[in-house]
Amino acid sequence: MTLTVSIVLHILAAVVWVGGMFFAYMFLRPVAASQLEPPARLTLWVGVFKMFFPFVWLSVLFLPLTGYLMIFDVWGSMAATPLYVHIMNGLGIVMILIYMHVYFAPFKRFKEAVIKQDWQEGGRNLNIIRKMVGINTMLGLLTIIVVSAGRTL
Protein backbone atom coordinates (compact mmCIF):
# COMPACT_ATOMS: atom_id res chain seq x y z
CA MET A 1 0.00 0.00 0.00
CA THR A 2 1.44 3.36 -0.95
CA LEU A 3 1.90 6.14 1.56
CA THR A 4 -0.76 8.26 -0.20
CA VAL A 5 -3.33 5.46 -0.07
CA SER A 6 -2.52 4.88 3.62
CA ILE A 7 -2.97 8.57 4.42
CA VAL A 8 -6.27 8.79 2.54
CA LEU A 9 -7.72 5.64 4.14
CA HIS A 10 -6.49 6.73 7.59
CA ILE A 11 -8.08 10.17 7.34
CA LEU A 12 -11.34 8.81 5.89
CA ALA A 13 -11.62 6.21 8.66
CA ALA A 14 -11.03 8.87 11.33
CA VAL A 15 -13.50 11.31 9.78
CA VAL A 16 -16.23 8.67 9.47
CA TRP A 17 -15.79 7.43 13.04
CA VAL A 18 -15.24 10.69 14.91
CA GLY A 19 -17.59 12.68 12.69
CA GLY A 20 -20.31 10.06 13.05
CA MET A 21 -19.98 10.09 16.83
CA PHE A 22 -19.99 13.88 16.93
CA PHE A 23 -23.15 14.04 14.80
CA ALA A 24 -24.94 11.35 16.81
CA TYR A 25 -23.95 12.79 20.19
CA MET A 26 -24.42 16.50 19.50
CA PHE A 27 -27.39 16.51 17.09
CA LEU A 28 -29.27 13.23 16.74
CA ARG A 29 -29.31 12.39 20.46
CA PRO A 30 -30.85 15.66 21.66
CA VAL A 31 -33.55 15.53 18.99
CA ALA A 32 -34.34 11.84 19.49
CA ALA A 33 -34.27 12.18 23.27
CA SER A 34 -36.55 15.18 23.39
CA GLN A 35 -39.14 14.35 20.74
CA LEU A 36 -39.66 10.58 20.80
CA GLU A 37 -41.22 8.28 23.36
CA PRO A 38 -38.97 5.48 24.67
CA PRO A 39 -40.16 2.71 22.30
CA ALA A 40 -39.62 4.85 19.20
CA ARG A 41 -36.40 6.44 20.52
CA LEU A 42 -34.78 3.14 21.47
CA THR A 43 -35.86 1.47 18.23
CA LEU A 44 -34.40 4.41 16.30
CA TRP A 45 -31.07 4.02 18.11
CA VAL A 46 -30.89 0.29 17.39
CA GLY A 47 -31.30 1.11 13.70
CA VAL A 48 -28.73 3.91 13.82
CA PHE A 49 -26.15 1.73 15.57
CA LYS A 50 -26.77 -1.20 13.21
CA MET A 51 -25.95 1.10 10.29
CA PHE A 52 -23.08 3.01 11.92
CA PHE A 53 -21.21 0.21 13.69
CA PRO A 54 -20.09 -1.64 10.52
CA PHE A 55 -18.34 1.58 9.47
CA VAL A 56 -16.75 1.83 12.91
CA TRP A 57 -15.47 -1.75 12.50
CA LEU A 58 -13.89 -0.69 9.20
CA SER A 59 -12.32 2.27 11.00
CA VAL A 60 -11.07 -0.01 13.78
CA LEU A 61 -9.43 -2.14 11.09
CA PHE A 62 -8.06 0.58 8.83
CA LEU A 63 -6.81 3.09 11.43
CA PRO A 64 -4.21 0.83 13.05
CA LEU A 65 -3.32 -0.89 9.77
CA THR A 66 -2.71 2.33 7.86
CA GLY A 67 -1.20 4.02 10.90
CA TYR A 68 1.45 1.36 11.41
CA LEU A 69 2.13 1.19 7.67
CA MET A 70 2.77 4.95 7.68
CA ILE A 71 4.96 4.74 10.79
CA PHE A 72 7.23 2.14 9.23
CA ASP A 73 7.16 3.79 5.80
CA VAL A 74 8.01 7.28 7.07
CA TRP A 75 10.10 6.69 10.23
CA GLY A 76 11.16 3.05 9.88
CA SER A 77 10.36 2.10 13.48
CA MET A 78 8.29 3.02 16.51
CA ALA A 79 11.46 4.22 18.25
CA ALA A 80 12.03 6.91 15.59
CA THR A 81 8.40 8.07 15.62
CA PRO A 82 7.65 11.57 17.02
CA LEU A 83 5.84 11.94 20.33
CA TYR A 84 2.60 13.18 18.77
CA VAL A 85 2.32 9.93 16.78
CA HIS A 86 2.79 7.88 19.96
CA ILE A 87 0.06 9.92 21.63
CA MET A 88 -2.23 9.39 18.62
CA ASN A 89 -1.50 5.68 18.73
CA GLY A 90 -2.23 5.46 22.46
CA LEU A 91 -5.46 7.44 22.20
CA GLY A 92 -6.51 5.33 19.22
CA ILE A 93 -5.96 2.10 21.15
CA VAL A 94 -8.04 3.43 24.05
CA MET A 95 -10.81 4.46 21.63
CA ILE A 96 -10.82 1.03 20.00
CA LEU A 97 -11.04 -0.68 23.39
CA ILE A 98 -13.92 1.57 24.45
CA TYR A 99 -15.73 0.86 21.18
CA MET A 100 -15.24 -2.88 21.54
CA HIS A 101 -16.61 -2.73 25.08
CA VAL A 102 -19.66 -0.77 23.86
CA TYR A 103 -20.27 -3.18 21.01
CA PHE A 104 -19.90 -6.43 22.93
CA ALA A 105 -21.50 -5.41 26.25
CA PRO A 106 -24.04 -2.55 26.50
CA PHE A 107 -24.98 -2.60 22.80
CA LYS A 108 -25.64 -6.33 22.95
CA ARG A 109 -27.81 -5.87 26.07
CA PHE A 110 -29.47 -2.83 24.48
CA LYS A 111 -30.53 -4.75 21.35
CA GLU A 112 -31.86 -7.63 23.47
CA ALA A 113 -33.85 -5.25 25.67
CA VAL A 114 -35.43 -3.54 22.67
CA ILE A 115 -36.37 -6.91 21.15
CA LYS A 116 -38.03 -7.84 24.47
CA GLN A 117 -39.57 -4.36 24.65
CA ASP A 118 -37.95 -3.84 28.04
CA TRP A 119 -37.73 -0.09 27.61
CA GLN A 120 -36.31 0.56 31.08
CA GLU A 121 -33.39 -1.87 30.57
CA GLY A 122 -32.92 -0.54 27.05
CA GLY A 123 -32.75 3.00 28.38
CA ARG A 124 -30.16 2.02 31.00
CA ASN A 125 -27.92 0.48 28.36
CA LEU A 126 -28.44 3.36 25.94
CA ASN A 127 -27.30 5.70 28.71
CA ILE A 128 -24.11 3.65 29.15
CA ILE A 129 -23.54 3.76 25.39
CA ARG A 130 -24.18 7.52 25.40
CA LYS A 131 -21.52 8.10 28.05
CA MET A 132 -18.98 5.90 26.29
CA VAL A 133 -19.64 7.55 22.92
CA GLY A 134 -19.23 10.93 24.62
CA ILE A 135 -15.84 9.86 25.98
CA ASN A 136 -14.78 8.48 22.61
CA THR A 137 -15.92 11.63 20.83
CA MET A 138 -13.79 13.75 23.16
CA LEU A 139 -10.82 11.39 22.72
CA GLY A 140 -11.28 11.50 18.94
CA LEU A 141 -11.34 15.30 18.91
CA LEU A 142 -8.31 15.40 21.22
CA THR A 143 -6.48 13.04 18.87
CA ILE A 144 -7.22 15.32 15.93
CA ILE A 145 -5.86 18.29 17.91
CA VAL A 146 -2.72 16.39 18.92
CA VAL A 147 -2.02 15.31 15.36
CA SER A 148 -2.74 18.72 13.87
CA ALA A 149 -0.67 20.63 16.41
CA GLY A 150 1.97 17.94 16.94
CA ARG A 151 3.39 18.27 13.47
CA THR A 152 4.22 21.92 14.09
CA LEU A 153 6.03 21.44 17.40
What is the tens place of the pLDDT at every residue in 28-45?
A: 999 887 799 999 999 999
Q: What contacts 38, CB < 8 A, 6 or more positions away?
A: 119, 122, 123
**Domain count within the chain:** 1
E strand spans, the chain: none
Position 50: which residue type? K
Rg (CA), the chain: 17
- Residue range 84-93: average pLDDT? 97
Q: How confident is the model at residue 152 (pLDDT cuts 50, 70, 90)?
A: confident
| Structure confidence at residue 97 (pLDDT) | 98
Task: Provide the domain limits for residue 65.
Answer: 3-150
Q: Convert the pLDDT of each residue in 95-106 to its tens digit.
A: 999 999 999 999
In sequence order, which ranges of 24-82 are alpha helices (DSSP H)? 29-35, 38-74
CA distances in angstroms from 149 to 88, 140, 143, 145, 152, listed in the order given: 12, 14, 10, 6, 6
Neighbour tally for 56: CB within 10 Å:
22
CA geometry: angle 17, 21, 22, nearest 5 deg: 115
- Predicted local distance difference test score (pLDDT) of residue 73: 95
Q: Which helix (H) or strand (E) holds 16?
A: helix 3-23
Residue 76: helix, strand or coil by DSSP? coil
Q: What distance lies between CA 5 and its chain's CA centroid?
A: 21
Q: How many CB atoms lie within 10 A of CB 127?
A: 12
Q: How many CB atoms lie within 10 A of CB 146?
A: 19
